[in-house]
Amino acid sequence: MRGGCFCGSVTYAVTGTPTLSAFCHCTNCQRLSGCPFVHTIHFPASAFMWTHPAPHEDRLDSYVVTGKPWKTRWRCKSCGACVVSANSKTENRSVWGAHLARDEAGKILDWKSVQPTAHIFYDTRMLDVNDDLGKWTGYENNSTRLE
């Protein structure tokens, strides 16, 4: 699958099956995106690669959120969109579903492979979501299920 920032300056590809695909309601995702939740998709680090011209860092800024020194986030220098985070504890890369390539109708390509399976960090939600997905206080199957 391919993805990138809003302006198209920063692009990437991910391969294989995600280790997690969920709607995240954590306060960090809310503050970083300005939205009540985001579609986060985690892949092993080896499944992620930048596809825009090297040197890749010329188009990227990195930053670390206070309280999570193991997680580096990368954003486009041109449009400011956060495009990936790198977790040194889990060796995962996280991308947001909204940045993935879409078809002519606006649907994410290969949706079935990245379709969310849960709502995570749901206890800090800004709004209730009425769907059939499980709602968890933390990560799916590693925290308390709320619904």
Classify residue 143: in a domain, yes or no: no
Classify residue 86: in a domain, yes or no: yes
| Per-residue pLDDT reduced to its tens digit, 35-54 | 999 999 999 999 999 999 99
Classify residue 104: in a domain, yes or no: yes
d(CA 49, CA 12): 6
- The whole model's pTM is what? 0.93
The enclosing domain of 48 has a CATH number of: 2.170.150.70
| Per-residue pLDDT reduced to its tens digit, 77-103 | 999 999 999 999 999 999 999 999 999
Classify residue 65: in a domain, yes or no: yes
CA 130, chain centre distance (Å): 22
Please write down the long-range contacts of 109-113, taking CB distance under 8 Å and 24 or more positions apart.
109/1, 110/1, 113/1, 113/17, 113/18
Name the burial class of residue 134, with classes exposed (0-12), middle (13-18) and buried (19+) by CB atoms within 10 angstroms of its CB.
Answer: middle
d(CA 92, CA 116): 17
Number of structural domains (the chain) is 1
Asked if residues 107 and 89 have their Cβ atoms less than 8 Å apart, the reply is no
Classify residue 48: in a domain, yes or no: yes
Classify residue 119: in a domain, yes or no: yes
Residues spanned by the domain of 100 = 2-135
